[in-house]
Amino acid sequence: MDKVAVLIPCYNEALTIGKVIQDFKSQLPEAVFYVYDNNSTDDTAKIALEHGAHVRRVPQQGKGNVIRAMFREIQAHAYLMIDGDDTYPAENARSMVAAVLNDQVDMVIGDRLSSTYFNENKRPFHNFGNRLVRGLINYLFKNEIRDIMTGYRAFSYSFVKTFPVLSSGFEIETEMTIHALDKKLNIQNMIVDYRDRPDGSESKLNTYSDGFRVLRTIARLFKNYKPLIFFTLVALILAIVSLALFVPVWDEYRMTGLVERFPTMIISGFVALTALVLLVSGIILDVIAQQERKQFELQYIRVRTLESDAQDDKHLA
C-alpha cells in the first residue's frame, strides 16, 4: 500500500501534464503518481511516462468513470487528486495530505472560490454555475462548503473505499461532496490559489450540458439522501393543486347543491391521492435511508480497522 498516491485524471493534457507532475513531485517526493488517461488523442500518456508516472487507460469516457477506476485500483493511506491542466498550485499539496495522515480528515477540499477563481476564470457562466451549485447544496444540506466542484482534493483510505461512484462525468465532484455531508464525514476546507489554463489548453467542461448534469445530480442525490423532505415538498405542491381544483367545485355545490364538473372533481381526487402516496413513500424511504446510514457506519468502521491492521503489520515487518 502506498503512503501517498497522487491521482491525475487526464484527457488531452499534453501541454501541461509534464509540468504538473514535476511541480507536485517537488512537494511530495515520496508520493507515487498515477495518471489515468481517458482516451487522449495527444501525447499525454507518453509525456506522463517520461516524467515517472504510472499510466493507466480508462476506455469509458467521463471523469466519473476515471475516478471510479482510480478508487477501485489504488491502495494508499492518503490520496491527492488533481487535474492535469496546471490550474492548481502544488504548494498546498503537503498540507492537504498531512491533514489526512495526521488529523484523521476524510476529505480536504481545495477551495478555489475563496481566493483567485473569480478573477482568473474568464468564463462568466462557469462562475455563476459555481455560485449556484454552492448555494443550492449548502441550503439543502445545511452546511457551509466553500467550493463544491473543485478538482483539487485529498482523501483518506476510508473515504475512497466506502464512496460509491455513481456519476460518469464532471458531476462526480458534486456527488462526493454531498456523500461526505450526508455521512457526516470529517471535511476540511483549505483555501488554494487558482490560475486559468495556459494558452493553448482547452477546458473539457461544457458550461450548459455539464451544468445541467450537475443540477440533475443534486436533485437525484437530494431525493436519495433526504427522501422525506423531497417527497413532502412534492406532495405539498400536489396538495395545493388538488385544493385549487376542488375549491371551485365545492363553492358551486354549496350554491346549487349540484356537482356539474365531475371531471374536475375526479382529477382533484386523483391528485390528492397521489400527494398522499408520495408522502407515505417519503416516510418509508426515509426509514430505508436511515438504515443505509447505519450500514455505512459499520462498513466505514470495518475499512478503518483494515487500514489500521495494515499499518500495524507494516510496522511489525
Q: Which residue has the higher pLDDT, 167 or 288?
A: 288
pLDDT at res. 154: 97
- Sign of dihedral through CA atoms 45, 46, 50, 51? negative
Q: Looking at residue 256, what is its pLDDT?
A: 87
Q: Which amino acid is at 264?
A: T
**C-alpha span between 220 and 218 (Å, rounded):** 5
Query: In this predicted model, what pLDDT tens digit does every residue of 149-199 receive, in sequence order?
Result: 899 999 999 999 999 999 888 889 999 999 999 999 999 999 999 887 776
Higher pLDDT, 121 or 169: 169
| Residues 48-63 pLDDT 10s | 999 999 999 999 999 9
Tell me the C-alpha distance between 49 and 37, whole Å: 11
Least Cα distance to 157 among 315, 311, 313, 312 occurs for 311
What is the reported pLDDT for 226? 94
pLDDT digits (tens, 9 = 90+) for 227-279: 999 999 999 999 999 999 999 999 988 888 888 888 999 999 999 999 999 99
Render the burial of 76-108: b for 16+ CB within 10 Å, e for the rest: bbbbbbbbbbbbbbbebbeebbebbeeeebbbb
Higher pLDDT, 112 or 153: 153
Contact 145, 194 (CB under 8 A): no
Cell numbers that stand for 314 in this block = 507494516
Tell me what pLDDT residue 198 has.
73
User: With bands split at pLDDT 50, 70 and 90, how would you rate the model's confidence at 69?
Assistant: very high
Cα of 277 vs its chain's centroid, Å: 31
Check residue 37 and give its pLDDT.
96
Residue 56 grid cell:
493507466
The percentage of the chain sitting over the pLDDT mark of 70, rounded to a whole number, equals 92
Quick check: helix, strand or coil at residue 91? Answer: helix
Label residue 206 by pLDDT band (50, 70, 90): low
Average pLDDT over residues 56-79: 95
Check pLDDT > 70 for residue 205: no
How many other CB atoms are there within 10 angstroms of residue 9's CB atom?
A: 25
- pLDDT at residue 203 in the model: 66
Residue with cell 391528485: 271
Q: What is the mean pLDDT of the chain?
A: 90
Q: Can you tell me whether residue 188 is helix, strand or coil? A: strand
Task: Decide which of 317 and 36 is more confident.
Answer: 36
pLDDT reported for residue 201: 63
| Cell numbers representing residue 151 in the block | 478538482
Encode pLDDT of 296-315 as tens digits. 999 999 998 888 877 766 65
Q: In terms of pLDDT, which residue wins out, 18 or 209? A: 18
